[in-house]
Structure 1
Amino acid sequence: MPAILHVNASPRAAHSQSLALAETFLDAVAEHAPAVEIITLDLFDRGALPEFGIAAAQAKMAIFTGNDQTEEQRAAWADARAVFDQFANADGYVFNIPMWNAGIPYVLKQWIDIVTQPGWSFGFDPSAGYSGLMAGKKAVAIHTSGVFAPGVPPAFGSDFSVPFFEDWLSFVGVTDADHVRFAPTVLNQDPEQARRAAERELRALVGDFSAHVTLA
């Protein structure tokens, strides 16, 4: 069955603007392609992600150096691999990403650091450099911010979130990606109009996204 992995990077549940937009988009996709399975990963749920600490780092270096992993390292590496397999097995992705301190939430960076491993999501050639191994996937990323918006003066913030995430998707080979903004969500004279504009932009993506995932 074709599958969509929805990665929710907001802890605000029903109060989250980015999550509300993602759910609106996914509801429309489900109507358009009812045979597609939607899997949601709530990154802030306790236990959603394994720690990628000393044991996992040592396990990674053991692979690089051709050494045997200890039992603890094998377990840590298996936990990381399970997170990657969920990512790799999906045919399409929906990310909702609130901006935190001009960047992405720390749990999303943790997830990225877990799944972005050589031989898993990217390869490397000494002559040609890096190459993404996740080609053929399609992604929709929904970005929200409270104060920052494109074109505001520097005193109202900077955006390292969207450029970073665009670059990461491209790095792992997900080059077919759409990015939708709802910004700002706080200093907005007409937030409802801005939200509806984001919803219209998302609705315009439903047909192509559904078709891509269904045919994957």
Structure 2
Amino acid sequence: MPSSERWDERWLKLLHLSCSPRPDSESSAGARVFLDGFRQMRPDWDIDVMDLWRERMPEFAGPIVEAKYARMKAEAFDDAQRDSFAEAERMATRLSLAERVLISTPMWNFGIPYKLKQWFDIIVQPGLTFRYDPASGYLPLLKDRPTLVILASGSDFVTGMNRGRTDMATPYLREALRFIGISDVRFVPIGPTTGPADPILAARETAYRRLREIATWF
């Protein structure tokens, strides 16, 4: 491989959004399985881990909300709005610079953890990740990129043994990502994670096998 190609490869990045507060969670364990395989295939890639429970994220209130509406009305920012919007730009840029994205998250109360929802609320901003055209409607501003979502849940949404629960996390994530331009999304569920041991182990092994396979070409 020419040296110029090796140089380009060295700067490629995978952004990992780690969304569980528990380091030993099922979603975090699945992410480690995938990343072990990914690093073997692409040792020169940068893995940018964004732990949403440790990351500094502004509350979506006050100046950042006003900044969003100012952008929608094409109004100038005041100083507080400018500083708050800079935080959103920082986080959105971190996503836009990644050639691949990994999201590892648990399912909480049928949906996603509030920290992941907060991340979306911050980066989904007019003129930053989407724009509005009167003739065409809402248009994404990010380029598409392969994205993998590891979603751990107490119920089994693969075989239908979901104990009467509804998966609202998958459709939300698919639509939120599509809205900003990311449609190449694959989901690997891990579940059930509660109950009898045998179904838990079987679900875990199935998910890990699929994650190892995806890591070879992702």
User: Shared topology, TM-score over 0.5?
Assistant: yes
Question: Shift in Å at residue 163 of structure 1?
Answer: 1.1
Alignment of 1:93 with 2:95, yes or no, is no
Partner of 1:12: 22
Contact 1:148 1:159 in 2 (8 A): no
Question: Shift in Å at residue 79 of structure 1?
Answer: 1.2
Partner of 2:138: 130
Q: Which letter maps to 1:143? A: L
How far apart are the structure 2 equivalents of 1:128 and 1:187? 48
Percent identity, please: 34
- The alignment of Structure 1 onto Structure 2 pairs a total of residues equal to 206
Contact 2:18 2:28 in 1 (8 A): yes
**1:30-45 equivalence runs, <5 A:** 30-45=39-54
Q: Which letter maps to 2:211? A: L
Superposed CA offset, 1:108-163 (max 9, x none): 0000111111222222222222222222311000011113524236x531110111
Q: Which letter maps to 2:135? A: S
The 1:30–1:198 alpha-carbon spacing in structure 2 relative to 1, beyond 3 Å, is same
How far apart are the structure 1 equivalents of 2:32 and 2:90? 25
**1:39-188 equivalence runs, <5 A:** 39-45=48-54, 47-150=55-158, 151-152=160-161, 156-188=164-196
Contact 2:155 2:161 in 1 (8 A): no
Alignment of 1:3 with 2:13, yes or no, is yes
Superposed CA offset, 1:175-200 (max 9, x none): 11110001111035332221111011
Contact 1:145 1:185 in 2 (8 A): yes
TM-score by length of 1: 0.89
How far apart are the structure 2 equivalents of 1:65 and 1:123? 12
Contact 1:121 1:132 in 2 (8 A): yes
Question: Shift in Å at residue 97 of structure 1?
Answer: 1.4
Q: Which letter maps to 2:85? A: W
Question: Shift in Å at residue 93 of structure 1?
Answer: 0.4
Contact 2:68 2:126 in 1 (8 A): no
Q: Which letter maps to 2:179? A: F
Partner of 1:196: 205
How far apart are the structure 2 equivalents of 1:20 and 1:122? 33
Contact 2:71 2:126 in 1 (8 A): no
Q: Which letter maps to 1:9? A: C
TM-score by length of 2: 0.88
- Say what the alpha-carbon RMSD is for the aligned residues: 1.6
Residue segments in structure 2 that go unaligned for 5+ positions in a row: 1-10
Secondary structure of 2:50's counterpart equals strand
Contact 2:18 2:51 in 1 (8 A): yes
Secondary structure of 1:179's counterpart equals strand
